[in-house]
């Protein structure tokens, strides 16, 4: 039974981190658009699609496109900081999420610069230099891996031998399911 709880925790944490990372990234783009006088046409958060924010009017595309990864790494770090400061018993979960977001956004921007995919193409089109994308990836991705260092036992690996916090496992499963359903209901396309 302990392996079942471990699987529930690991799978729901990974899937929930992916879904939440996309939502945080897109919220950054929305904030960037609103802060620069842009108008958001729609946000796609369907769990079966890659997220995106479509703008009806975008007077400052460089700010908007950079706001996604900047908020995408900053907000999770703040959440983890608060969880640590209040000594939340499951603070390893926001720490994992922060690491996930740093790694995902860093890899997306750093590696994506070579093919100029998605946000990277927009960044380069609107004035960012390649070295800026590489620097962002070189700083955030390794820091994300560093945040993950030592978390294995919380997820039942190594000396924990499959033992995990059952409440954390089922809490993550519930949150993941809610995010999935919410994405289907209001996530567009």
Q: What is the pLDDT of residues 84-142, one digit of tens each?
A: 999 999 999 999 999 999 999 999 999 999 999 899 999 999 999 999 999 999 999 99
43 phi and psi, to 5 degrees? -120, 130
Q: What is the pLDDT of residues 128-179, one digit of tens each?
A: 999 999 999 999 999 999 999 999 999 999 999 999 999 999 999 999 999 9
Which pTM was predicted? Answer: 0.94
Number of domains in the chain: 1
Residue whose C-alpha is closest to residue 55's, from 29, 80, 76? 29
The CA-based dihedral angle spanning residues 133, 34, 125, 23, taken in that order and rounded to the nearest 10 degrees: 50
Q: Which residues of 106-134 are buried (b: 16+ CB within 10 A; e: fewer)?
A: bebbbebbeeeeebbebbbeeebeeeebe
Q: What is the pLDDT of residues 46-99, one digit of tens each?
A: 999 999 999 999 999 999 999 999 999 999 999 999 999 999 999 999 999 999
Domain that holds residue 61: 2-186
């Amino acid at each position: 039974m302990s392996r079942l709880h471990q699987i529930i925790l690991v799978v729901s944490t990974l899937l929930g981190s992916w879904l939440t990372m996309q939502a945080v990234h897109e919220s950054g783009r929305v904030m960037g658009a609103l802060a620069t006088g842009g108008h958001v046409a729609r946000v796609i958060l369907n769990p079966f699609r890659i997220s995106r924010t479509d703008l009806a009017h975008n007077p400052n595309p460089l700010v908007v496109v950079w706001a996604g990864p900047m908020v995408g790494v900053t907000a999770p770090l703040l959440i983890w900081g608060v969880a640590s400061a209040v000594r939340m018993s499951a603070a390893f979960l926001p720490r994992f999420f922060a690491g996930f977001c740093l790694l995902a956004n860093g890899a997306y921007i750093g590696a994506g610069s070579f093919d100029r995919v998605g946000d990277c193409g927009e960044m380069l089109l609107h004035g960012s230099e390649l070295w800026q994308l590489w620097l962002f990836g070189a700083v955030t991705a390794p820091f994300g891996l560093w945040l993950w260092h030592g978390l294995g036992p919380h997820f039942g690996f190594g000396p924990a031998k499959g033992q995990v916090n059952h409440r954390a496992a089922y809490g993550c499963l519930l949150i993941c399911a809610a995010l999935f359903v919410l994405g289907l209901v209001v996530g567009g396309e």
